[in-house]
Amino acid sequence: MDNGVTCQSEYTSDRILYMAMELSERNWNLGFTTGLGQAPRRRSIEARDMKAIEGEISLGKRRFGLSDMTRVLSCHEAGREGFWLHRYLVQGGVENLVVDAASMEVRRHRHRVKTDRVDLGKLVRMLVRYHLGDKETWSVVRVPSVEVEDRRQLHRERWALVGERTRHICRINGLLANQGVRVPVRKDFLERLEETCLWDGSSVPSGLMARLLREHQRLQWVGQQIEQVEEEQRQLLRNSNDPSITMVRNLIRLKGIGAHTAWPLVMELFSWRNFRNGREIGGLVGLASDPHQSGDEVRDQGMSKKGNSNIRALVIELGWHWVFHQPDSKLTRWYQKRFAKGSRRVRKIGIVALARKLLIDLWRYLETGETPEGTVLMTVTFLSSVAGRPCKAIVQWL
């Protein structure tokens, strides 16, 4: 692999070597071909052995009678390996595609053959088709830069910690419920637990008590981790001049949007994705509708639910907050007129529609500074922790 090859114009041959990779934990399967109608050359290497990949590419070129400067196109499915492999291949002069596995064509038979060999052959054929112009073959994942990917760690860690905190609380409640006891998990949990008696007036068994205490200690530790992550976010909001942090500040100025909503919206979507229109935004988070039309049958299948499910749930939750905190906005008036007087199901459908419109309005607000019609703005001052306690933002209404 020649690291000096960085652009297509430097290649000396019109023929192309196509390489597809089927990745797994222990072994990687490689498939090589030079075009459709040709059986792929299959090779297997140890996972993450990059020298072996370079060697197989060189052997593939010699096997098909290609020069060392032949252009190499490769692909692999998005998954556990993340994007480091893509960056390595691109740096080495290989034109690589990261493919969304859910977008790939599959046979609709009740039972279909599913083996690494079959999948590898399909990947190779679809790579050739995509290069020849069939762009509907699959969806290509847009790879973020290392810096953009690193900015996602903070809010994703908080998501994981909040989930752990919920599991600890549910486990404590479940252990107590097995004994017919209910003790709210609050600051005075340990004191109330000591005073708790079972149905027959006896104290909590020693084994269960020890387990509850250890579970509570883990809950406290997770709470401390959450406070540390949130304090780091507050420090960045207060001191950082990064453009993405500026976007977060601008979103928080809209009443009803907090830091823990604005942060992931910016880091996952607005700070690095170049949207051309609102339809792309709705499609990215799975809020676009999927129509179904066959003969005389025409119906809507509802929202597609593609893309980032966490962001989709966050935006829908934001829709409810928007209706409550921004009652005079144009979007809220539209929702109240069309959906508010309907059934519970109709209101849920309406809030999803509002969430999609709101997401598009937020994108326009960040891109152009155009505030959504009827929106209440705030001035926000971000403070660090005071006397060891995390301090929320000070808010003043405009």
Q: Would you give per-residue pLDDT tens digits along the chain (398 residues)? A: 444 444 443 444 468 999 999 999 999 999 999 988 888 899 999 999 999 999 999 999 999 999 999 999 999 999 989 999 999 999 999 999 999 988 888 877 877 778 888 889 999 999 999 999 999 899 999 999 999 999 999 999 999 999 999 999 999 999 999 999 999 999 999 999 999 999 889 999 999 999 999 999 999 999 999 999 999 999 999 999 999 999 999 999 999 999 999 999 999 999 998 898 888 888 888 887 777 778 878 887 777 788 888 999 999 999 999 999 999 999 999 999 999 999 999 999 999 999 999 999 999 999 999 999 999 998 766 554 443 444 444 444 33
pLDDT on residue 381: 63
> What single-letter DSSP state applies at residue 71?
E
For residues 255 and 248, is the Cβ–Cβ distance under 8 A?
Answer: no
Q: Report the distance separating Cα 359 and Cα 143, nearest Å.
A: 22
Question: How much is the pLDDT for 108?
Answer: 78
Helix, strand or coil, per DSSP, at residue 111? coil
Q: According to the model, what pLDDT value does residue 396 have?
A: 40
Round to whole Å and give the CA distance between 176 and 182: 6
Task: Say if residue 76 is exposed, middle or buried (CB neighbours under 10 Å; 0-12, 13-18, 19+).
Answer: buried
Q: Phi and psi at residue 305, in whole multiples of 5°?
A: 60, 35
Element (H, E) at 204: none
| Dihedral over alpha carbons 308, 311, 315, 316 (to 10 degrees) | 60
Strands 71-77 and 16-22, bridge-based pairing: parallel
Q: What is the pLDDT of residue 380?
A: 67
Rounded to whole angstroms, the Cα distance separating 73 from 32 reads 10
How is residue 53 written in tokens? 């990949």
pTM: 0.84
Q: Is 77 in a helix, a strand, or coil?
A: strand
Radius of gyration of the chain from its Cα atoms, rounded to whole angstroms: 27
Strand partners, 21: 30, 76
